[in-house]
Structure formats: C-alpha cells, structure tokens
Structure 1
Amino acid sequence: MKLDMLDSGVFIAYVLGLLILALWISREDKQEGKNTEDYFLASKALPWWAIGASLIASNISAEQIIGMSGSGYAIGLAIASYEWMAAITLLIVGKYMLPIFLKNKIFTMPQYLEQRFDSKVKTTLALFWLAVYVFVNLTAVLWLGGLAIETVAGVDWMFGMIFLAVFSVAYSLYGGLKAVAYTDILQVVLLVFGGLFLVYLALDAVSAGEGVLAGFGILTSELPSHFDMILSDDNEHYMSLPGISVLIGGMWIMNFSYWGFNQYIIQRALAAKNIKEAQKGIAFAAYLKLLMPIIVVLPGIAAVMLHPELNTPDQAYPSMMALMPSGIKGLVFAALVAAIVSSLASMTNSISTIFTMDIYSKMKPGKSQRHYVHVGRIATLISLGIALIVAEPLLGKFDQAFQYIQEFTGFFTPGIVVIFVMGMFWSKATSAGALSAGVGSAVFSLALKFLWPELPFMDRVGLVFLLCLGLCIVVSLASKSKSSNASVSLDEVSFATDKNFNIATLGVIIILTALYAAWW
C-alpha cells in the first residue's frame, strides 16, 4: 500500500502546520530566553486539558498503536487490560502520589530519590532510566514507526526512522515541554477520531457492508477466543497474560511504575499550574485510556479476518489503513506519525531533563540556566542518534514489540515501585534498603526466568515485587538512616480530592466492572 497524491499532500500540509504551530509556541518564550523550568516543565503553567491530552499522546505511540494492535491480532481483547487497568492506576497516582511530588517541587523522579534517600540512589536510578529510555523506549518507537511508514507509504524503514527523528527535533528542540504538550492536543483529537473512523471501516468491511454492529457480531462469533479478557491456562498466550493476574497481580506493578514513576509520563503532571489542575488532567487521561482499546485493539482483531496472511502481527494496523478513503488516509497517517513523533519528543525531553538536572548539573554546578538548556538540547540529539543506530539490531527479530517492551522492563519495575512506595509512605526506609530493592529486582527476575521458566512474566513481576519489598524492609531495619528527611513527612500533604475527581473515579470503576463482566 502506498499513499496517493492527495494523501501525500494532506500529510505534508499536516506536518508543516504542526511545525509552524510548535515553533510559534516556542517563540513566545524564546524572546527572553528559557530557564530550566520553562524548558523542562513548561513554566509550570499547563492547564488540565493539555496535561490529559499530552499524557495520552506521549503514551499512545508506535508501541501502542502498532504493537498493541499486533497483540490484538495475535492474542485478542485480553491485551486491552494494559489500557483499562491503566485508567484506574492513573486515578490512584493522581490522588496519592502526585501530591507528594508536587509538594517537594521536583523536576525529575531521580531528584525526589535524592531528597528522600541520597545521591547514590538518585544516580543509580538516573543512569538506569537513561539506558532504558534510549535502548528500549526510543528504539521501540523509532523501529515500529519506521515499519509503519514503510507499510503505509512504501518508504524504506531506515529513511522512515530518520524522518521521525528529524521531525521530532524540528518541533521540540527549542520549545521543550510546552511545545510538545500543546501540539499534543491536536494530535490526540486526530488520533481519536481517525481511530474511531478506522474501526467503523474495519467492522463494516468484516460484515461486507452490513454495518458496525453486524461486523462486531461476526468478530465475536467467528473469533470467540479473541474476546476472552481473562485467558485460561491452556491458552497459547497465557504466558503473556496469565489469567486473573492481570487484575490482581503483576500488571499493577507495571502500571504504577509506568504511570507513577516514569519521567516522560509524570513530567506533564509536574508541569501543572496546581494540584487540582493536575488531577483534572489525570482524570481526563483516564477516560481516554478507556477508549484506547477500541481504537487500537479492535482493528488488530478485525485484521485476523481481513488479512489472515500477514507475516508478523505488527503489520496489522498499517495494513488496515488501506481501508481509508483517499485524503482521510493521509490525515490519519499524519496523525499516526505525529503521535509517534510526540512520544519521541516526550522521551528525548525527559532524557535531557534527567541527564541535565540529575547528572550534568551536579558535575558542573553554578552554570547559567541557558547553559543547562543548551546541554539538554545536545543530550536530545545524542540520544536520538544512538537509538537510530541500535533500533534494528535490538528489535528486528521480535514479532510483537509491545510484549518485548513489557517483559524487558518487567525485570526492573518491581524494584522501582518498591523504592518509591517505601520512600513515600514508610519513614524507616533507608538508602541501603532502596538500593537492595533495585539490585534485587534484576537478580530475582533473572533467577526466576531461568530457574522457573514456565512462570508467566507478569506473575514473576508480582513475585519479585514481594521479594524486593521484604528485602527493602529487612535491610532498612538492619541499617540506620543517617538523618531524618522532611521529604518523607506527609503532615503537609493533602490527599483530599474534590467532588468532580471522586465522581470521575466512580465512573471509571463502574465502566471497568461492566467491561470485565461482559467479556470475562
């Protein structure tokens, strides 16, 4: 499939329009020069709608749209648990974790760890996150984005990756988080409406023109195993999504790590005007997460019937875009590319934030604010260059990149969650306890993977979390904290939420209960 002239024209117009918008947003601050708060935290002035839209745009990228649709092709609706469980996770993060971060006025997650523990914990986690963002997240987004461009536009995947990298630099390098967050609003609107339109076309095609409801009925009757939300232990994909564990096990750990302690996600909420605005943005994002499986998973399931001959599952979504009429296909493709670029920009902005504020500024203190912003921009360019080089060698052999990302990060996320949760809510947690949990996470995970290979990775994540939790408690009690730290005090932190947030939370719970009851 290739784009025709009209599609190409629409795509080029969208790209140019987005660049002009981003540069206009950036120019407002550039007149007086940015400081680190302007560049990395959008001057701490983001409204709720920008926070919510940017959270989703940063999250919904190639690994979600392409990768999760591919998992929908291979596994089915069960993969939607990542999205639906994330909705409730977001609300918990907004109520119990975000107030602590905002109270401590932090730029980065490692900065909080330094305030709570010491520089050893901060530096260890900062280096870890930099490695994961560059070698896992950036590479996955570039690789899947390059494959999407090759499938839809017929352009070689390597040129596609280079285009994505250059595009992300062009619109985010000078504007920082503000340029990324405000342009994300346009991209989310197009992604949602373009995605819903593709679902309509896919279901209509499945029913041979009989309509959406008929198409959905055919899918559920012809592919019943693809609509099991909780997989049985005899399912061939049970190792990826082990039954009830998606509701009560390791998926909670994966979600808390991603939505609560992941720099390029939580950075949007840290840039809010105030805590109420941040919580409204998070509630908005939670409802968008409920919608995402319809947009990204259903086309993958429909592709099982419409394109059963695909070489790899990750070709499902790009192949389904052939259903789009001329012009609309170009617009939806532009939104897909822009979402990929938004995630790249978000990740590189967070990489530059962590490198500059947590590592470089400690090595070179006392420099001007503009100097640190300049260093952050250089870090952006270097990280993209590295990711371009290693993307194909690291990911070229995987059929489902989304599952690869989850399993790889699952080695480390249990320890990260233990470090933050114990650091925030247990005053006796020490630096030694935190480091033991971090190291133990990798050691326990590797040991279980080789000694108990039949254990599903999500169950392994939950078990390793419990082991790390116990290890942190034992080591913390055995070691003595050098001094009490005010960052652990919750006396001045209010966990009260307003009526609208509480109603939004109740709504998410009711919707999730209905969804799982219907597709159990």
Structure 2
Amino acid sequence: MKTGDDYFLAGRSLPWWAIGMSLVVTDIGAVDMVAIAGSAYLYGIVMGNFDWLGSVPVMIIGAFIFIPMFWRARVTTIPEWLGLRYSFSVRTVVALIWGAVLSISLGITLYVTALAFNLIMGITPQIIVVAEDKTIFDQIVEATGEAKTHEFTFLQSIEEANKRIKLLGNPNLILVDSDFADPTLIQSPEDSPVTGFTISAVNEAWGAATMQDARKPGWNIMYSVILMGIVIGAYTLLGGLKAVVYTDVIQCAVMMGGSMFILFYGIYYVGGISEFRSTIVDLGERTMYHFDLVIPVDQEFEGEGTQLPWAGVFLGLGMVLANAYWMSNQTIVQRTLGARSEADAKASYVFGSLLKVFIPFLMVVPGIIALAHNPNIVNPDTASSMLVRDIMPVGFVGLFFAAFLAGLMSSVDSALNSASTIWTKDIYQPFFKPDADPHHYLVVGRIITVVFLIVAMICANFADGFDSIYTLIQTIYGLFQGPVLAILVLGALWKRATATGALVGLITGVAFTLSLNLIHAYASEDNKLFHADDPFLYVAWWSFVWSMVATIVISLFTKAKTAEELKGLIYERGKKSKNTETSNG
C-alpha cells in the first residue's frame, strides 16, 4: 500500500461479489443485530420494512442511476461529487456534517457491541426481582435508576428464582416482595445479597440505598469499548478499504450463518411456528400489531404514539431515509467507488439487494422470539443477547458471539475508513495541503483514523442515556439526510439546480429539521406536531420537502452551470459519460 487511493479505495480493484457482501454486513453491523432485534421486541415485524422497503428497491434504483454516475466521476467521496456538481462550499458543509456524524455513530456502535459482549460473557451485573405483579417490578427498576447498567429479571415465584440463580450463577442482588414471598427461601450464594421489600417503601431514596447492597461490577463497559476499538482499529489502520471489504466477505458468511441457526433453533425452542405466534398474540394489546407490516397512525404503545406508523414508514423511510442511506452514505457508497469497473459497481448493489431480502428473517424475527421467551426484558436492546444466552445449547453461544463479532468488526472498520477518507480528502487536502504526494495522504489518513477512534470511544460513554439505540441512530441521521438527499437528487436529475440553491436548501433544511425536533419535544402532549414520541420518520420527510422546495426556488433565480461544466455529473438515460477528473472543489 503506497498511496491514499490504495488506502481509501483499494486501488479501485474490488470485484462485485465482494462489494455486495461487504455492503450487506456493513449495513447490518453489530448495531442492527442488537438494536433491530430490540425494536422488533417492542414493535414487531414492521421493522422488516427497513430492509424490504428501505433497502431492496432502493438498491436496485441506485444500481442503475446513481452508482454508475458516481463511479464514472472518479471521486473518492460523496462530498467530493457534490463539490464537482455544485461548489466547494457545498462540499465542505456536507463533509463537516458527515465527519461529525460518523464519529458519533461509531461511538454508538462501540457502546452497543460492548453492551451485548458484557451480557453474553456474563459481565453485566444481574438483579432478580421476585414479585406478584409486573407493575411492582417496573417501580423497582425505575426507583433504582440502573436499567442501563444492570440486567433486571422479573420472576413470580421463589422456585423460578432458584432455577434462575442456578442458571446464571451468582446475581449481584435478589429483591423479594415480602408481602408476596418469603426471602429466606431463596437459595443464593454467599456473595449474592437477598433483600426483602414492601411496595409502600419503594422510592428513589430506597432505590439508591438498595443498590448500595449490590455487589459492585468488576468490569466497566468502557473497558470493553476500549478493547474492541483497539483490536478492530488495528487492522483497519494497516489494511485500508481492501482489508475492510475482504474481511467483510468472511464476516458476512459467518454473521448470516450464525443468525440463521439462532432463527431456526429459537423457533424450535418456543414450540414451533404455531406456538410462537400464539404466545405473542396471547400477550394482549402490546402485541396487537406484532405480525403486521402496516401499523395504523393512531396506534399507541404503552400510552405513546407508535414510532413506525404506515405514513411515516412510507414517506420518511421509503422516500427519504432509505434513499439517503444507499445513495449518499459514505460508508456504503465508498465500496462501489473502489470497484474495478462500472459493471462491478452496478452488480454489487443488485447482488446486495438479493441478500437483503433475507435479513428481516435473520435479524427481526429473533427479536420477536425473545419476546415469546421473556416478555419482561427491561432493556430491549439486550433482547437478542439474552435470548442466545438463555436458550442456546452449551457451546453454541460461541456461534452467536462469532456472528456478533463479525457484525461489530464490519461496523467499526467501515466507519473508521470512511471517516478518515472524508476528513483527509474533503477537509485536510483542500484546506491544508492540496499538492502533497499520494503517500502523504496515506499517512494523514492513518493518523485521522486513530484520532477518530479515540473520539468515538469518548462518544460511546454518553450512549447509555437514551432509551432506544436504534431510534437514537435514526434521529441523528434524520437531522441531515433529508436535506442532503434533496440536493443530491436535484443535482443528478435537474441540470438547472445551482450551487447557491443547494447551499441554501442544505443549511435551511438542517435548521428546519432541528426546529421540528425541538418544537415537538417541548410542546405539550395535546400540541405535539406528530403522533409519535420519536418522530424521526416524519421529520425526515418534511425536511426533504423543505430542502427540495428551497433549492428549486433559489436555483430559478441564480445562475446555473453550463452543459460543458456538468458533463458526466448529470444522469442521462442511455448515455455513458466520460470520466471526470477528481477536483479539490
């Protein structure tokens, strides 16, 4: 490896099949293995829309319109293409946005994977609560304030508790409702304290005092974050995109194979398909739509509006977030930019779309199986990990861990490589050293990789403050993906779009997105803008519409580039554009 192109684009030598498998495992990653299963635990099969609607058709469209156009332009990043199409200012703003978001999302990825790693390895502190009613259990969890740092298990008999203790070993704390059961009947190890309580005494002060009795965890989650970051960062640093993609090929096979085993064994464990379905249906109102791909807009979940109504899924996901993800996400598109030919770039997206058809079965359904197995999981992001730990035969937990580790490695190496590419090619090169030799950019790219890894580890420390990791990620991406998609689509399909129009549409679109989120967050319950607690799907749609309108209006009153300047940068049906030289802006 001698140049920046070797590091960032694998010397433009990647075959379609390797890129296709890399696209799938990069998209899924460790976050989706954990977070999609967690969301499926809460909302059901509707999460499959993120692949069946949000990936398959979009990838086919991208394969024949956007990806060939990007590849022929010979660019290294999406911001670079926007710079060629519009202006250096547009390129810089988009690069800064993506650079910041990639570091945050990488931190979230490290946190989620460390969370699952600790749970599978038995490192997460465990608290057993024995009570008659789940409402009492919920009060206990709220009073302690430790739902994100401890694993709480709700049981309704002393016998169940003793079986659980035998299965898990020595939990950190066992809490027993004294009005319901006798705490002295608990068969606990000496270092697992048993505490009786009465519901009338449960409050925040009681929770804080009770947690003082719990055995302190000996391994902080940040230790796992740092350990994983160093191991995966090392091979990304040394190998660049080629190492990332070919490692992804192996990881894709391992991840899909492991997930398939969990799917079939999980259904077998809960009694087969019929028993599985009836168990979910019998849970009542909370699972009324768990097997529906379309959920009514006014459906509520535990007193809150649904996060995934059909209107939001169709407009926000199908029309905006999915297209933005597969057309403008640097971690995804960068692989196709390293393809050895235009045909390979196209074929990689088609092949990837075929593989994506199976992902909801492998990632979403296990989350629903976890619900059938244990409907009282406090932190849904741990659902898949708890399912594997509880039901998998001895020795087979390693299979899930291998699949999980494969997803983790792909997520981290992709984000690291793409972040260093954007900051090197779109920020460092044009602003600080535009005429350096290719080897210099290779060195700088590696330095930036290390810096990003450190920043991501710091960001990971703040991820536990959010209820749903998947919703958090979608909300972050929803802040800017609508505006970026608007200027990208107009730039590719409408030659009249101007640099001024794009810049105004982008900046005001992001501001509009922030405004919608803030107004919705601080509005009273009767005056909420959207019928959803986290309205990222609606916000994505309206920010896209705003940016489209703003860009079109301003473009009509400002000067557009000439046909010669736009050669190779506008989609022309049935025509192949000549390669356009890469520019610094």
- 2:529 aligned to 428, 448, 454, which one? 454
Tell me the equivalent position of 1:414: 482
Mapped contact 1:48–1:278 kept (Cα < 8 A): yes
Q: Are the structure 2 counterparts of residues 204 and 224 from structure 1 closer, same or farther at C-alpha, using a change threshold of 3 Å?
A: farther
Question: After superposition, where does 1:166-181 map in structure 2 within 5 Å?
Answer: 166-181=230-245
Tell me the equivalent position of 2:470: 402
Tell me the equivalent position of 2:33: 65
Task: Quote the Cα distance in structure 1 between the aligned partners of 2:298 and 2:277.
Answer: 25
Moved more, 124-133 or 459-468: 459-468
Tell me the equivalent position of 1:463: 542
1:389 equivalent to 2:358? Answer no
Q: Are the structure 2 counterparts of residues 171 and 74 from structure 1 closer, same or farther at C-alpha, using a change threshold of 3 Å?
A: same
Once the two structures are TM-superposed, the CA of residue 220 in structure 1 deviates from its matched residue by: 5.8
Tell me the equivalent position of 1:287: 354
1:478 equivalent to 2:557? Answer yes
Question: Could you say what secondary structure the match of 2:425 adopts?
Answer: helix
Query: For 1:176-219, what per-residue CA distance to the aligned partner results, in whole angstroms no more than 9, with x for missing partners?
Result: 01001011111111111110110112111211xxx4x3344435
Question: After superposition, where does 1:246-395 map in structure 2 within 5 Å?
Answer: 246-322=313-389, 323-362=391-430, 363-393=432-462, 395=463
* Matched residue type, 2:268: D
- 1:435 aligned to 487, 494, 503, which one? 503
Tell me the equivalent position of 2:9: 41
Higher helix share: 1
Query: For 1:376-420, what per-residue CA distance to the aligned partner results, in whole angstroms no more than 9, with x for missing partners?
Result: 011111111011112122x21112101111122212111100111
- 2:115 aligned to 147, 154, 157, which one? 147
Tell me the equivalent position of 1:82: 50
Mapped contact 1:104–1:487 kept (Cα < 8 A): no
Q: Are the structure 2 counterparts of residues 248 and 495 from structure 1 closer, same or farther at C-alpha, using a change threshold of 3 Å?
A: farther
* Matched residue type, 2:408: I
* Matched residue type, 1:260: M
Mapped contact 1:134–1:386 kept (Cα < 8 A): yes
* Matched residue type, 1:145: T
Once the two structures are TM-superposed, the CA of residue 365 in structure 1 deviates from its matched residue by: 2.2
* Matched residue type, 2:80: Q
* Matched residue type, 2:248: D
* Matched residue type, 2:473: I
Question: Could you say what secondary structure the match of 1:61 adopts?
Answer: helix
Once the two structures are TM-superposed, the CA of residue 81 in structure 1 deviates from its matched residue by: 0.9
Question: Could you say what secondary structure the match of 2:444 adopts?
Answer: helix
TM-score (norm 1): 0.84
Tell me the equivalent position of 1:12: none
1:196 equivalent to 2:165? Answer no
Task: Quote the Cα distance in structure 2 between the aligned partners of 1:128 and 1:280.
Answer: 29
Mapped contact 2:491–2:570 kept (Cα < 8 A): no
* Matched residue type, 1:93: G
Task: Quote the Cα distance in structure 2 between the aligned partners of 1:487 and 1:89.
Answer: 25
Q: Are the structure 2 counterparts of residues 485 and 408 from structure 1 closer, same or farther at C-alpha, using a change threshold of 3 Å?
A: farther
Once the two structures are TM-superposed, the CA of residue 242 in structure 1 deviates from its matched residue by: 2.0
Tell me the equivalent position of 1:502: none
The percentage of counterpart residues that share the same residue type is 34
Tell me the equivalent position of 2:150: none
Mapped contact 1:352–1:377 kept (Cα < 8 A): yes
Task: Quote the Cα distance in structure 2 between the aligned partners of 1:409 and 1:494.
Answer: 31
Task: Quote the Cα distance in structure 2 between the aligned partners of 1:271 and 1:295.
Answer: 29
Task: Quote the Cα distance in structure 2 between the aligned partners of 1:181 and 1:107.
Answer: 16
Once the two structures are TM-superposed, the CA of residue 267 in structure 1 deviates from its matched residue by: 0.8
Tell me the equivalent position of 1:91: 60
Return 5+ residue gaps in structure 2 as ranges.
124-218, 521-527, 577-585
Mapped contact 1:272–1:278 kept (Cα < 8 A): yes
Q: Are the structure 2 counterparts of residues 489 and 365 from structure 1 closer, same or farther at C-alpha, using a change threshold of 3 Å?
A: closer
1:138 equivalent to 2:198? Answer no
Once the two structures are TM-superposed, the CA of residue 449 in structure 1 deviates from its matched residue by: 2.9
Task: Quote the Cα distance in structure 2 between the aligned partners of 1:301 and 1:491.
Answer: 44
Tell me the equivalent position of 1:508: none
Task: Quote the Cα distance in structure 2 between the aligned partners of 1:193 and 1:90.
Answer: 23
Once the two structures are TM-superposed, the CA of residue 39 in structure 1 deviates from its matched residue by: 1.2
Task: Quote the Cα distance in structure 1 between the aligned partners of 2:23 and 2:237.
Answer: 19
- 2:274 aligned to 191, 196, 214, which one? 214
Task: Quote the Cα distance in structure 2 between the aligned partners of 1:492 and 1:229.
Answer: 34
* Matched residue type, 1:307: N
Greater gyration radius: 2
Superposition RMSD in Å: 2.0
Mapped contact 1:204–1:215 kept (Cα < 8 A): no
